[in-house]
Every structure is written in structure tokens, then in C-alpha cells.
Amino acid sequence: MPDAAQAASFWAWAALAGLGAFHGVNPAMGWLFAVGRGLQSGRRATVLGSLAPIALGHMASVAIVIAGVEALREFVDVTLLQALAASGLIGFGAWRFARGFRHRFRVGMVAGFGDLTLWSFLMATAHGAGLMLAPVLLLLPPGTGLLALGVHTAAMFAVMGFTAWAVFEWVGLALLRRGWINLDLLWSGVLVGVGGLLLATATAEHATGTHGLGALLRVCVG
Amino acid sequence: MATWTPDPTFYPSARLAAQGPREKLAYVAMLNVATPPRPDALDVVDLDPESRTYAQRVGRVEMPQVGDELHHFGWNACSSALCPYAPHPHIERRYLIVPGLRSSRLHIIDVKDNPRAPKIVRTIPAEDVAARTGYSRPHTLHCGPEGIYVSALGAPDGGGPGGVFLMDHESLNVLGRWEMDRGPQFFAYDLWWHLGYDTMLTSEWGTPNMIENGVVPELLLGGKYGHHLHVWDLKRRRHIQEIDLGPEQQMVLELRPAHDPTKAYGFAGVVVSTKDLSASIWTWHRESEKWAVRKVIEIPAEPADPAQLPPLLKGFKAVPPLITDIALSLDDRFLYVSCWGTGEMRQYDVSDPFNPKLAGSVRIGGIVARAKHPASDAPLNGGPQMVEVSRDGRRVYFTNSLYRAWDEQFYPEGIRGWMVKLDADPAGGIKFDERFFLETEPALRPHQVRLEGGDASSDSYCYA
């Protein structure tokens, strides 16, 4: 296997884990809900007990995208798939930005396992959590979807769990007042940015007949 | 517009809110009773004791049309934006939504660019509210996790039912009727919630037809005004329980749930009992899966010479306290009770919500007493009415007008408007700030007060 492909593969796995960590640290994706429920009940066990259903809902949302990519790449040319993923990301990012940020799910502070799972599934889906994984998956060999799902969810779960525990035990929620930066806005920008990069890469690949970011580099450098 | 960090006036908990900076400005709804009619206004009052214009009006925005009857109002967004299940903390607390209780118009007022010179940026006509919700006479509003909740007294024709409608916190559009299943609920007035329990409570006044020409004695003595509390599933939008306080308990108005979301109790004020003209405070609380209510404070009527009473009350030979507003400090410790009839503001220690202890009292105005303020030479009329408490609980502001048609029945000579401030001792006890006595121009009557950056009835919290 050429070094370039090995390097691409390494960065793809790192990106899957990194995106998981990003979702894990985002208060809107679950750790804050776990902490809020813990403060409501006054029990550490509630914080811990909330993490599993939240991770499960997140995983389900991401799994749909991964399964979709795995199925499509059997029949569709990778370059076309990249272009599809790119337009999906750009469109979704722009739509999120234009729509604004609001949620009206029928889940509140009194939530059971199923409610939390459903809530997390809806939040991750509305966030476009899985969509971002599509371009990364395309850098990996077919058949690695399940492993990708595992890596992403494990990273998300670990970071979410650590953050929830740290905030509940010692940091406290005053942190939110300054520390909660607008990850929604940032994420919308990242969706559009990655979509643009992907589109450029796919176009370059088509022009040079080579694959990956190297193709884009080749076009840029000449 | 989205911001990078949460609005600095959003606090995860009431405890953190109490540690925030002191308020510098108040917004006050001003009813205009001039003839020929002049528009109502939203006034800006300077609350900074270091300022040369302390306790004076420093700004005003007039409504675009006459006949609104400004009453209650509230913010587009507040601390509930930090709630974990529907977070949207990167929004500004920037717009006051100011309903006309009689006109049913909704004014959107921007206070960001110059907080002392608010600007009306949009007026939503009554027809829009009616077309989208079926409601009219918008009354109380609260910024919730999913949007802005507004209570409305009734239908466009002046009948019922009244209820709750939703507005979007970003577009500020009226979205529609909130209830999926209203059960037996018919009357509306206040709304608030226990976010920690996904539970909403609403209270009852009367339909527009029952109130807009003044209190109707036959309805009152017949126990026909509202006397129930309603408990709702906030997430499923369903009525779950009706609690009857008894037909003699006429007009269950203000609702003040504990600010701490882990506590499942709150206080409701009843204006008058038809048995003895007393007024009362009730504590609602959750008992296993059901909600229950218990009377915890009863304030008796005060005997009076009929010659000193308005026609409505002459036959009773007594002046009723008329609890028209209450306020709960952010630490859930002190409850302020406005007795608009007798002219008394009471402070109760409600650390034990079932055994309130009277901790302080001041007298000002009153149907018979006409008590003076330390800074006033002449007797005053009207009485303590809309009351607001600072986030740290140290300052209490209140005004003296109730509702135009009712003002005339209880104070037939016409209410002269004033706004005053009390200093509250953290250990209990209240006294007038002698430097704070704001008399309004003759035709203007002050109603609700909102403090810059939030106060003890503007925000709700998802975290203890």
C-alpha cells in the first residue's frame, strides 16, 4: 500500500475520533442534559445513567449515514459520491444557518431511557452529525463502516462522559456563561467548508485521474 | 442575530443570577387615560443611585396607536435558553414584547442600541394573533426553552376560552395555539412552570366580556369569576389536573413557582373571598403524582366608614385587601404580597412554604388609608400593585395602577400614578427608599415593571 494511502487512512481514523470528541464536548449534544438531570435528582447515578441512552441515540443517527455510504459505494463511483456528500454538506450547513437555532422536541427534564435516546437521535440528526462523517468514510476502504461507527461513538462517549463528570463534580455550571461558545454557528461553517473542500477535491480528481487530497494539491501546485 | 458566547444576562441557576450585577434601568408600562385619547407608553426609569437622574424617567417610547392598555410584558429570551433539552443560548435578550391587553396588538420593542431610548421595531396586529391562535387579549408572557409563551384572556368576540399561544424566539412570529387538549379549562390569566417537572400551571380571571366594563358585582357574588388552578403537561401540551379553590375564592391571579427547578411548589394569590372580603395566598405542591393546594396566608378585610368607600363597597362597610400581585425572591425565601385595596405591601418569609411568617410591611395609598410616602406631602391613592424584585433580592419596586375599568371602581376619583422602591434587609424587613418616589404625569398610570437584564419574574432556570 502506498504511503499516501496509509497516511490518508490514518487521518481518516483520527478525524472520525476527533468528530466524536467534538460532538461529545458540545453541550447541546448531551453532556449538559446528563448534568442537568443529575442536578435535578441530586444523584451522581442519574448523570451516569443518562450517558448510555444519549450515546445510543447519537450512534443510531450516525449509523444511518454510515450504512447509506457503505451501500451506495457498492454501486456509485467514488467521485460522484464525494460530489453528492459535498453538496449535502453545503446545503445542510446553509440551511442550518438560515433556519436559526431552535428545538421543539417533546422531551423535557422528565425523560426515560427511550426519551433520552430519541432526543439524542433527533439532536444529532438535526445537527448533521453523521453527514460530516461521509467524506471521511470515503477515504477508508469499503467494509470498515462498523468499525468507523465504533470509533466515532467511543470517542463521543468518552469525551461526553468525562465532561459531564467533571462539570457535575467540580467545575459547576457557571462555566456555561462564558465557556459555551456558539458551536452551532461554528459547525454550520465547518459543514459548508468541508463540503467546499470535498467538492474541490472531487473536481480535481476528475481532472487529474488521481485520488484523495493529493489530487487537489496536484491541481493547485500545477 | 446569533452571538459567539451566551448573552451575559443568562444564568444557569437562580443562585447565579442573584450574584449578577445590580440593575440600572427599569422599563415601566404606562397606561394613558387622557381625553381625547393619547397612546400608552413604555417608560425608562433610572435605578442607579449614583446618577443625577436617579428615580426619574429618562426615556419613553409611545405606542403607535391609542387604546392599547399596556399591562404585562416580557423578554424575547432569558435564562431558560440554557436549558439542556432545547438549548439556544446564543441569542440576545434584546426585545421586549409588550402586549396591549385591550387592543390585542403585540409591540416588539428593541432596547439594545440605546437602552434608554427603546424603539418599536414591529407591531403585530390583533387580527394576526386572532387568525393564528383564535385568541385575543394577550396578558402574561414568559420566555421558555422552546419559544415565548403568552397567555390570552379569551376569544376575539370577548368570550372564552382563553389560553396560551406560542411565539418563535428568533422570528418573533406568532406560531399558534399551544394547547393540544385543554380539558375543562376555560378561563385564563397567568402562566408559569416547573421546568424540572415538565409541568405548567395556569390561573383564572374572567373572559374579556366579564372584565372589560369593570368588575360585575353579580358575577363576583355568584362566584362566577375564576377559582381554579390548572396543571398541564408542558411537553405533551395536555391538561392533567384542575384544582378548585372553592367558588368563594374569586380570581386566582398571579402564579409564582419556586425558582429552584428541583422544588415542586409555588404560590398563587386570590384577590378576594366572597365570604368575608379577605384575600389569600395558596401554596400548591406535588404529592406523589398529583398536585394539591393549601391556603397558607389569609389577610382579613379592614372595617371602614361607608362614607369613605366607593359605591361598590359601601354595603360591605369594609375595605378588602385585594391581593393583585405577588413576587418571589430568586432565593425562594421572601414572598411580596400587594394589597391594592388596603394600601399595604407585605413581606413574608416563605423558607417553609407551608408556614409563611410575616417579616415586614409598609403602608402606602389605599382606598381608605391614603397613606403617604416619606417623600410625599399629600395623601396618595391607588395602592401597591405590580411588584418586582431585583435579582439579588435587596430592592423591591412597585407601582399603583391595576386595570383601567377597575381602577375607576375602587378609586373613582382617578388614580394618580406613582412608583416607589423598598430596600429589603437580607434577614427580613422592608423600608422605603426615601429618595425613590416617582410621580407620573396626571394622565399616566404605571403598571408592570421590568428590570434591565432580568428580574425575579422574568426568567426561569433548568438547573438548581
Could you list the pLDDT tens digit for every one of the 222 residues in chain A? 567 777 778 889 999 999 999 999 999 999 999 999 999 999 999 999 999 999 999 999 999 999 999 999 888 888 888 888 899 999 998 888 887 777 788 899 999 999 999 999 999 999 889 998 998 998 898 889 999 999 999 999 999 999 999 999 999 999 999 899 998 888 888 888 888 888 887 788 777 776 655 565 555 554
With CB atoms and an 8 Å threshold, state whether B85 touches A100.
no
Is the distance from CB of B262 to CB of A110 less than 8 angstroms?
Answer: no
Would you state the pLDDT for residue A222?
Answer: 46
In chain B, residues with a C-beta closer than 8 Å to the C-beta of A163 are: none
A17–chain B nearest CA distance, Å: 24
- Listed residue (B406, B388, B405) closest to B397, CA to CA: B388
Would you state the pLDDT for residue A220?
Answer: 55
Beta sheet of B249-257, edge-to-edge order:
B249-257, B265-273, B279-287, B290-299
For chain B, list residues with pLDDT below 70: 1
- What backbone torsions phi and psi does residue A74 show, to the nearest 5 degrees? -65, -35
Q: Any residues with CB less than 8 A from the CB of B382 and at least 6 apart, and which? A: B340, B365, B400, B401, B402, B407, B411, B415, B416, B417, B418, B445
To test the contact with chain A by mutation, choose from B10, B79, B82, B85 the residue with the greatest count of A C-beta atoms within 10 A, namely: B85
pLDDT digits (tens, 9 = 90+) for A156-170: 999 999 999 999 999
With CB atoms and an 8 Å threshold, state whether A109 touches B196.
yes
Query: Which residue is associated with the grid cell 410616602?
Result: B373
| Gap between the Cα atoms of B388 and B5, Å rounded | 28
In chain B, residues with a C-beta closer than 8 Å to the C-beta of A126 are: none
Ordered by where they begin, the domains of chain B are: 14-451 (2.130.10.10)
| Gap between the Cα atoms of B74 and B122, Å rounded | 15
In chain B, residues with a C-beta closer than 8 Å to the C-beta of A105 are: 85-86
| Gap between the Cα atoms of B93 and A153, Å rounded | 36
In chain B, residues with a C-beta closer than 8 Å to the C-beta of A177 are: 5-6, 8, 10-12, 16
Nearest CB to A40 within list B90, B168, B196: B196
Q: Is B1 within 8 Å of chain A by CB?
A: no
| Gap between the Cα atoms of B206 and B160, Å rounded | 9
Nearest CB to A119 within list B10, B85, B147: B85
In chain A, residues with a C-beta closer than 8 Å to the C-beta of B168 are: 102
- Listed residue (B279, B247, B281) closest to B266, CA to CA: B281
B27–chain A nearest CA distance, Å: 25
Q: Is B285 within 8 Å of chain A by CB?
A: no
To test the contact with chain A by mutation, choose from B15, B198, B463 the residue with the greatest count of A C-beta atoms within 10 A, namely: B463
- Chain A residues at the B interface, defined by Cβ less than 8 Å, are 27-28, 32-33, 35-37, 39-40, 42, 100-111, 119, 173-174, 176-178, 180-182, 184-185
Q: Any residues with CB less than 8 A from the CB of A49 and at least 6 apart, and which? A: none
Q: Is B423 within 8 Å of chain A by CB?
A: no
With CB atoms and an 8 Å threshold, state whether A102 touches B88.
yes
**Cβ neighbours around B289 below 10 Å, total:** 7
pLDDT digits (tens, 9 = 90+) for B182-236: 999 999 999 999 999 999 999 999 999 999 999 999 999 999 999 999 999 999 9
B176–chain A nearest CA distance, Å: 14
| Gap between the Cα atoms of A112 and A56, Å rounded | 13
With CB atoms and an 8 Å threshold, state whether A109 touches B85.
yes
B169–chain A nearest CA distance, Å: 8
A222–chain B nearest CA distance, Å: 39
A-B CB pairs within 8 A amount to: 108
Q: Identify the closest residue of chain B to A41 by CA–CA distance.
A: B262
Would you state the pLDDT for residue B162?
Answer: 98
Q: Is B181 within 8 Å of chain A by CB?
A: no
In chain A, residues with a C-beta closer than 8 Å to the C-beta of B5 are: 177-178, 180-182
With CB atoms and an 8 Å threshold, state whether B235 touches A106.
yes
Q: Chain-centre distance of CA B283, in angstroms?
A: 18
Q: Any residues with CB less than 8 A from the CB of B360 and at least 6 apart, and which? A: B346, B347, B424, B425, B428, B429, B430, B431
Q: Identify the closest residue of chain A to B196 by CA–CA distance.
A: A109
Q: Is B355 within 8 Å of chain A by CB?
A: no
Q: What's the whole-model pTM score?
A: 0.95
Q: What is the dihedral of CA B390, B391, B394, B399, to 10 degrees?
A: 10
A107–chain B nearest CA distance, Å: 6
Q: Any residues with CB less than 8 A from the CB of A222 and at least 6 apart, and which? A: none
- DSSP-assigned states of every residue in B66-98: S---B---EES--GGGG-TTS---SS---EEEE
In chain B, residues with a C-beta closer than 8 Å to the C-beta of A178 are: 5-6
Nearest CB to A28 within list B8, B12, B87: B87
With CB atoms and an 8 Å threshold, state whether A177 touches B11.
yes
With CB atoms and an 8 Å threshold, state whether B262 touches A105.
no
Query: What is residue B372's DSSP assignment?
Result: P
Paired strand residues for B109: B96, B120
A111–chain B nearest CA distance, Å: 9
Q: Identify the closest residue of chain B to A179 by CA–CA distance.
A: B5
Query: What is residue A167's DSSP assignment?
Result: I
In chain B, residues with a C-beta closer than 8 Å to the C-beta of A111 are: 85
Is the distance from CB of B147 to CB of B167 less than 8 angstroms?
Answer: yes
Cell of B111: 432596547
| Gap between the Cα atoms of A156 and A51, Å rounded | 10
Cell of B393: 433580592
Q: Chain-centre distance of CA B367, in angstroms?
A: 21
The complex scores an ipTM of 0.93
